[in-house]
Amino acid sequence: MNDDTNGAEGSETEVTNMNTSATENPATDAGTDSQDFIASNIELADEGPCRKRLKITISQETVSSELETNFRQLKNSVMLPGFRQGKVPLAILKKRFNDQVQEDVREDLKRRSVEEQFEAADYKPLGFPEFENVEFSADKPFTFEAVFDVQPTFELPEYKNIEIDSEVVPVEDADVAAEVDRICEQSATLEPLEVGQQAEGDFAVVDIDLQVEGESIFSKSEVVMKIGDDFIDSMEISGLSKDLAGAAQDATFEKSVEVPQDFPEAEHREKSGSIHLTVRDAKKMVTPELDEEFLGRLGVESEEDLRNKVREGMEGRRIAEENTRQEDLLSEKVADSVEMELPESMISRRKDSLVRNKIMEMMREGASEEDASAEAEKDEEMGKQARLELVRIFVLDKIADEEKVFVTEDEVVQRLQAIASTYQRPLEEVLEQYRSGGMIPELRNGMKREKVKQLLRKKAKVSGS
């Protein structure tokens, strides 16, 4: 999927609620009675756009009670030399395990007290909080602060009956013919050709030897080169095709070259050198005829049957591509009409993800990590793109809530099955990877947004379709 809002294969800053049971109940007011909460005092303050700070106090009595409970549970389970299980004196346990028990209680109280605030809040927390100013001891109230992002609040614009034009391109006979030719070429084979008869479009089999200052730095035998492509790997060799066309057996050529910048040995990169070629053989590409044998291998009964199936496939792909284009356009139209504040921390994380993706893409295209990083970091559009993507995510999610769009367990399993089939891996292995990596919610959210985009298309007014 090439849309970052779609979820599984690409979204590294997925927007998720820390606690999905957050409701629309009134939030606890700053400094007010905390009902039956663990915390004895709660203060809530804004930290900026869509970012809040909870200041939580838990009474010393609660801390003492939790510590005592944990030590008694430990007493029932721990075994120490010289004592039967359940008979170790509490004083010994407190001396030996005090630090560990205090840490366990501290972390448990932090988690539980924050979760219960989130469950009762009228805001929807995103991600996990950052904890600051944590002060914990057995004989004092426990105080800490939790800083976290919250889902932005905004009004949905009208998202039904949006007018757009269909741009689906009809499949012409020439398109079908070109696709049939491509299918034949995929089954083409290299066949022997008398050396000296090779021309443009044929292939020469050569031995190559790359030299710098008379020293061989790379050699390889029986390299198959297409005549007409004046390149060996990333080295452009002017006039090479002209030399190879019609060349005799064992003919040799020497051409000036510049060693490419991605050459494995760094000391030779971008140096002037020469490449020596010796012609050993010639080949020609032979495509199969559309005869009964080849048509049978393709699973069709006749050439007409093949062309009909090709046309159906091309029409289906073009319709699918047009549907995707319309869905992307509609989601952009809706999102672009929304004004919302976003937490800077979230935009920054999304931008970092986009930068990492761009670096990886540039490295796949041959750039060094240093050059790719420098280029990606200075791209001023990354911040804008990060914000646009996040706005789209929030808008699609709110439409999903409005329209009661959801993804079933069966649909998740079917998607995982498709992923497993694509990568030729067992479903159980893929399922375990997604579960252990915590990627199931991200996958589900992406699928939900796909459904919303499809809903936008179905509710749009599409002309020319």
* Fold held by 189-286: Chitinase A; domain 3 (3.10.50)
Per-residue pLDDT at 63: 95
What pLDDT score was predicted for residue 14? Answer: 44
Residue 126 confidence class, pLDDT cut points 50, 70, 90: confident
Q: 293 is written with which tokens? A: 């044998």
Segment 176-217, tens digit of pLDDT:
999 999 999 999 999 999 999 999 999 999 999 999 999 999
Give yes or no for residue 33 having a pLDDT over 70.
no
CATH T-level topology, domain 340-463 = Trigger factor, domain 2 (1.10.3120)
Predicted pLDDT of residue 7: 40
| 156: nearest Cα among 367, 418, 434, 456 | 456
The pLDDT score that the predictor gives to residue 345 is 84
pLDDT of residue 465: 63
Domain positions in the chain are: 18-150, 189-286, 340-463
Report the pLDDT value the prediction gives residue 164, as an integer from 0 to 100: 96
Please count the CA atoms within 13 angstroms of the CA of 182 that sit on its side-chain side: 8
pLDDT of residue 22: 36
**Confidence band (pLDDT; 50, 70, 90) for 170?**
very high
Q: What is the pLDDT of residue 373?
A: 82
Q: Which of 2, 4, 1, 5 is nearest to 393 (CA)?
A: 5
Most confident residue range from 10-14, 52-56, 78-82 = 52-56
Classified by CATH at the fold level, domain 18-150 comes out as Alpha-Beta Plaits (3.30.70)
Residue 288 burial by CB count (10 A; 0-12/13-18/19+): exposed, middle or buried? middle
Q: Give the type of residue at 28.
A: T
pLDDT one-digit tens code per residue, 256-285: 999 988 888 999 999 999 999 999 999 999
Give the Cα-Cα-Cα angle 449, 451, 456 (nearest 5 degrees): 95
For helices 440-458 and 427-436, what crossing angle results, to 10°?
A: 100
3 state SS of 12: coil
Nearest to 183 by CA among 318, 60, 300: 300
Task: Report the alpha-carbon distance of residue 57 to residue 142 in Å, rounded.
Answer: 6
pLDDT attached to residue 35: 54
Q: Both tokens of residue 186? A: 């995929």
Q: What is the pLDDT of residues 372-418, one digit of tens each?
A: 788 777 777 888 889 999 999 999 999 999 999 999 999 999 999 99
365 — pLDDT class (breaks 50, 70, 90): confident
- Global pTM reads 0.70
Residue type, 109: L
Higher pLDDT, 83 or 447: 447
207/275 Cα distance (integer angstroms): 10
Helices (H), 121-239: 173-186
Tell me what the pLDDT averaged over the chain comes to: 88
Cβ(306)–Cβ(240) below 8 Å: no
